[in-house]
Structure 1
Amino acid sequence: MAAMAFELLVLLACIIAYAICRRRHPGSFTCVIPLMTATTWVLERACTQAAQAPRLGAAIIVIMICWWCAGSLALHICTSMRTRGLSLIACLGCVLSLCIVACSLALPVAMGAKWHGAALFCANALHACGLWFSLSIAALDRYAHAHRCNPKDYVDVIIVPGAALRGSRPSPFLTSRLERALELWREQGCYAHIVVSGGQGSDECASEASAMHRYLAEQGVPDGLIIDESHSTTTKENMRYSRLLIEEHLGAGMRVAVVSTDYHLPRCAMFAASEGLDAVSVGASSAHRAWSRGYIRETVALTRAILPTYGIPILIALVCMP
């Protein structure tokens, strides 16, 4: 009884520490440290209690990881809803949080009910989905924070993928990318070429590339250093068509920096590598209130992008799982 009271006291202290950090340093990674401490404590206790049942212990660890990520996602969504109101993406985020929690419970339920065959396979699949989305969101967050600094080496070309416009002007998301690209361009001596990449959407009155070109020119970038790529409609096409233009105008082997919103960087880096670009990633900070919708969209997009490569091995692993 005393041990349980002590454990509850530790968890309560972590929650209070989180509340204090969130109040003093909103949006900072220091806010996450108390939650990580609490999670680590619970995982340690779970592993100790499950010493005689290693598979159950692994399932408990997955549950805690999933619940931690789902809770973080739900917290950001609630924060966003207070400032922006109810929206479709907020509803989808809440649904995803609930699905992650439900998926994390699938395998323990199946083990307790002693399911076999197709039922156990479905439970394993749901459990894997919960873990995948949880770890994807966490990995995106860490990748985003790790690539907010400018590269140490000089680059020859800066690629800026497009985003939605507001009329004929860049949206706040796109403006943050352009400002980050300008910061890098100026820091490295104002000599690098900038490729602005983005076509014209069905609801846009101009191509994203032309809007970005205008914005950069207004900020003092010479027209001769701006290369327009106005045909792409996806991130993959951004990288492919940009590479073709770079090779056409400047030649092969250029050192490239891809500047985009921080949570968008993993997909940019993946497609840049697939196109053979020697590229580094540079992140533009996203608005705190947009964290949840951006990460949800990127997690789904990243999953769809890698599924053709890793889908079959994952399916085989699930089938072979006892």
Structure 2
Amino acid sequence: MSILERFFGRKEKNSSNIQGVLVANAEIDNPLSLVVVFDTLPENNSKELTRLLRNYHSSMKQATCELVPELDFFGLAGWGKHVISMVGFKTPYPQESIEQCVAPAHYPQEVKEQVRATSANIILYYKGYDTSPLEQYVALAVVAGALSSMGAVAVLNESAHTSLPAGVFKSQELGKHSLEMLREGFPLTSLFCGFVKYEVEDIEGVWMRTYGADCFGLPDFAAHAQGHHEGQKYSDIFNNVLRYLLESGAEMAAGHTMQVGKTTFMKLRDPLDDEYYLQGPGTTLVVELIEEDECNAH
């Protein structure tokens, strides 16, 4: 099969990577994705990207990359069960999409301005054979990290309404345990899920919520905070709860309670009819913090 045929995959059982030949999984209809933005699209250099991937982690010595020579940046990268399709464009990513990911993100304004001014992008799609959404995101982040050494400015996750500077994902920054850091050390709410704060007209306080948890088969969480100063508190609560649900396989729904502090519990409810701004894209549960005696009353 040619690289173009393998890029679009084939719907056959056991058609995963064999003997280092990358074949996209055509069974994936809605793949997870990340967008990597650049000032200038990197050189079409499969050898350099292969080198960067193999140096990313000790378990990736068999990683490989194939790019179509005639196109700007179009091809596959992969190792083990993972296949990432890459499509590059010498044009800015749509400004509305950039703004959705950059405005709520948590890094300096001067870096955000650099991201807004980028003029090229590479979209990464997970087209491999690992069924875990977390492992899929980790694989996408690895390729983004390799591309950060080829001039990337930032990594965007549209599903999560967030972004991070590309340098965060460099193997030099993460160290020899880079995969473990991405899998376990990164807060889920830093990139794989987003943490967004926004003010609603005529409503005091600040609403805070996650985006993108539906990609993991989990609900998103929201809370009505007193002000922006409570951002870290709710970000930590949301991250810890999402991590617990992901690792335990437990489920939560409206009416459930969970201990989140020494004497603090959270009670979950569905959004009210007039809380339209909390709707979608999947299930959103509103967190209300209560004390232990209130929890016992319920």
TM-score scaled by length of structure 2: 0.28
Which of the pair is proportionally richer in strand?
Answer: 2
Which of the pair is proportionally richer in helix?
Answer: 1
Q: Which has the higher contact order (CA 8 A, sep 6+)?
A: 1
